[in-house]
Amino acid sequence: MEMWIGHLQTSNFDFYVIAESEEILWSEMERSWNSHRKATGATYSWDEIKDNVWFNKQHLNRVWKR
C-alpha cells in the first residue's frame, strides 16, 4: 500500500499527516494549518508556509495490529 507522509513544523506547530494520496495530504495539511492559524492568531498564510512541509511517499508493507 502506498501512503504519503507529511510533516510541518514551526515554532508553535508540529503536525504530521499520513494520507492515501498526495492531494489528500496537501488538503489535510492546509486544513490543519488554517485551523491552527485561526486558533492561535498565527500570521503566516498557507501559501507562505506550505514550502516548509516535508513530505515523502512510502510503501507500507506491514499491517499493524494491536
> For the whole model, what pTM was predicted?
0.75
Q: Which band of pLDDT confidence, cut at 50, 70 and 90, is reported for residue 64?
A: very low
Mean pLDDT, range 35-48, rounded to an integer: 92
Q: What are the cell numbers at 51?
A: 514550502
Confidence of residue 11 (pLDDT cuts 50, 70, 90): confident
Burial class from Cβ neighbours inside 10 Å (0-12, 13-18, 19+) for residue 3 reads middle
Average confidence (pLDDT) over 35-41: 92
